[in-house]
A and B are shown apart, each in its own frame.
Chain A
Amino acid sequence: MFVAGCPKNTALSHGKTTALDSVDLVEMTDDMTMKILGDPLVQAEIRTRGTLKVVIQPVENKMIGEILPRGAKEAFVARLRALLAEQARDRFTWVMNRDNWYAIRDRELDRGPDPDRVQPEFALTARFSSITDESSKRRASYYLCVYSLTDLNAGTLLWTGKYEVKKSAVKGFLD
């Protein structure tokens, strides 16, 4: 009763999961920022075109048995965009996702002629995959998170970076 009554001993205070979490979010996006900014092909493209017009897409969830809610799907690319915008403001122009663009126009503006929307040249996308297995003893996941910068007109992949992590959680008494 004393133990259960302790305010810090909640249903959420001790559990350990194998899901991707905020630590992964920070590590992954920091790592990708460094890699994308240091990539020679990306640098060459910036020198040729000036700023890159990039649109971002939410993460594609290809993970086995791992749910990635809408907010998290956006957070994993939004943080990367924020870091790039902060650290290389003059090298990227961020273009709004087309569906969101039209949705917000529908809400806020009268319907009119086709807007002069800046056409993106690149898409920043992410695809998360995992191999997950669970038994009565443990749950284990290996994650491969791949980020890509794709040339929308040419269809070529300008840059790709990956983040891998392995997680496991051993089940104990009452799990």
Chain B
Amino acid sequence: MLELFLDSSGDDLIQTGQPMKPIRCILFACLLPTAYCLLLTGCGPTKDERKAHYAIEDYRLADYGHATEVLRPLANKTDENYVLNNARLGSSALAGYDLDTAESAFLNAYEVINSTGTNSGGRGAAAAIFSEKMKVWKGEPFEKAMVNFYLGVIYYMQHDYENARAAFENSLFKLRDYGESKNKDDQYRKVESDFVIGYIMLAKCFQRMGDEQNALKNFNRAVELRRNIGSLADPRRNFESNVLLVVDFGQGPRRVTNPYDGAFVGFGPKPFEVGSIPIPRVIIGNQVAVGPRSGDMAAMPTIDLLSLAQEKRWQDIDTIRAVKDVVGTGLIAAGGYEAYRASNSTGSEQRRDATAAIALIGAGALLKASSQADTRTWEMLPRTVFLIPLRLPPGRHDITVDFPEISGLHQTWRGLVVPDRGEATYYVRIQRHSAGPYDWPPAAMSQKAPAPTQGTPGAPGAPAPRNPFDPPSGPSSAAPLPGGTAGR
């Protein structure tokens, strides 16, 4: 490659010691750093990154099965994208109701997120010096919290309330990083108020385990943090609920870089850039059960990840990267000045200036190339999560979640099973291409669990159909619930 920089006679600066012509000198000064940049960063997306990108496209098209299959081998690789790919796999598998895969993937991510020193052994230093992408991605606090939240949802769906509780508790731990990084309880409180889903689900776990006191404490905390969720955080409503809809809506935050030099500028879009979160309706059969004009306003947004992402806790590496970027720019500017001087001088002075210009521009370009932002993002995250507890007659129901403010945005499930006791939890990922209608049980689940077959669903006196989510029969699994009712 260096031959490109030789003059036509084959002479070069180092071999001959002869001064280069000014124009060649400047050309050399400009092309050398470009070559450095190509060497350092000139790889573009790797094969695995391209595969992950295809999987994300599949996810957006609601082809969750294919997304899961593409991501599965990537998530097995214990490289710097291990946590990210497992989070992606967990999201895809959860949306496709492949709960075993989703649990395992989120658990893998959870274990590394909860570890310390993951980036030791040279990775941290390499990330600071060369490229931040070398560090093992563990996400920002809100991303860590969401890994724990989804893990909790999966356990909750499977009636494993002990582990669900632990996961929701952990999700709240992860947000402490925000509060402590800036000085103030108020700051932490603000972040907490954007994560009331953690408190509500924690309260629901306690309620299902018969710990009314802790349930009430957490419901109260949720309402204290966000006044407009009184109906959602009503202990009685949650106690009586036999269906819980967990509805993910919108696109979560993405890391945004400066288009000129790739420097990190934060998360986008900002909430005001995309407007407020629309309120959904829940339609059972043909009747609006929850939502605007139904008299039931339980479906309120519990979180705004776009807002939460604006609380990004700047890590040390961001500072290092910013310094490298500024110093790199300064060195290139100084090199440009030296090149200019070289073009206006002669003899040994020209040689000295040209050498200095090359060195400065090369060093500056290297620094800037290594200060490129790490833009890895968990693209499947929603903007918000709606939690909608419902009390419905046992049997099978067609349920639609729609958004009257956004034309065409809805999803329908046919034959969702409503148990006569306990609570069935259904996860709904609202996207442009996921209107359905989908039949219950979904393919990924029906391969693993027997489909409901008993009796005539919903018929008076008929036994309620068996839900694949039902806990195994037997007294040990039907934990008595408070209020003197043995299960519900």
Interface residues of A (CB under 8 A from B): 1-4, 6, 9-19, 57, 60-70, 98-99, 102-103, 132-139, 169-175
A residues within 8 A CB of B314? none
Contacts A9-B123, A67-B163: A135 and B117 contacting too (C-beta < 8 A)? no
B173 to chain A, nearest CB (A): 4
21 A-B contact pairs sorted by A residue (CB < 8 Å): A4-B126, A6-B122, A11-B136, A12-B78, A15-B115, A19-B114, A61-B163, A67-B151, A67-B155, A67-B166, A67-B167, A98-B474, A102-B474, A103-B472, A136-B180, A136-B181, A138-B116, A172-B117, A172-B120, A174-B119, A174-B138
B120 touches A14 (CB 8 A): yes
Closest-by-CB residue of A relative to B317 is A174
Q: With an 8 A cutoff between CB atoms, is B107 at the interface?
A: yes
Contacts A3-B126, A3-B134: A172 and B121 contacting too (C-beta < 8 A)? no
Contact of B116 among A12, A64, A139 (CB under 8 A): A139
B110 touches A175 (CB 8 A): no
Contacts A11-B83, A169-B115: A4 and B166 contacting too (C-beta < 8 A)? no
B residues within 8 A CB of A103? 472
Contacts A62-B162, A65-B173: A170 and B121 contacting too (C-beta < 8 A)? no
B123 touches A3 (CB 8 A): yes
B472 touches A99 (CB 8 A): yes
B residues within 8 A CB of A133? 173
Q: With an 8 A cutoff between CB atoms, is B69 at the interface?
A: no
B residues within 8 A CB of A135? 176, 180
Q: With an 8 A cutoff between CB atoms, is B135 at the interface?
A: yes
CA of A18 to CA of B170, assembled, Å? 13
| Among A9, A134, A135, A174, residue most surrounded by chain B Cβ atoms (within 10 Å) | A174
A10 touches B134 (CB 8 A): no
Closest-by-CB residue of B relative to A99 is B474
Closest-by-CB residue of B relative to A175 is B116
Interface residues of B (CB under 8 A from A): 78-80, 82-83, 103, 107, 110-112, 114-127, 130-131, 134-136, 138, 151, 155, 160, 162-163, 166-167, 169-170, 173-174, 176-177, 180-181, 313, 315-317, 472-474, 476-477
CA of A65 to CA of B112, assembled, Å? 15
B residues within 8 A CB of A9? 121-123
B residues within 8 A CB of A15? 111-112, 115-118
B residues within 8 A CB of A169? 115-117
A17 touches B134 (CB 8 A): no
B residues within 8 A CB of A11? 78-80, 82-83, 112, 118, 136
Known: A17-B115, A139-B116. 5 other contacts (CB 8 A): A12-B78, A17-B116, A19-B114, A67-B167, A173-B124
A10 touches B124 (CB 8 A): no
Contact of A99 among B80, B120, B163, B476 (CB under 8 A): B476
A residues within 8 A CB of B124? 172-174
Contacts A17-B115, A174-B317: A1 and B107 contacting too (C-beta < 8 A)? no
Contact of A61 among B120, B166, B317 (CB under 8 A): B166
B residues within 8 A CB of A10? 78-79, 82
Closest-by-CB residue of B relative to A168 is B116
Closest-by-CB residue of B relative to A68 is B163
A residues within 8 A CB of B131? 1
CA of A17 to CA of B115, assembled, Å? 4
B166 touches A174 (CB 8 A): no
A150 to chain B, nearest CB (A): 14
A residues within 8 A CB of B177? 136
A65 touches B80 (CB 8 A): no
B173 touches A16 (CB 8 A): no
A residues within 8 A CB of B174? 134
B residues within 8 A CB of A2? 126
CA of A39 to CA of B248, assembled, Å? 54
Contact of B111 among A13, A17, A62, A64 (CB under 8 A): A17
B135 touches A174 (CB 8 A): yes
Closest-by-CB residue of B relative to A63 is B166
B180 touches A4 (CB 8 A): no
B166 touches A65 (CB 8 A): yes
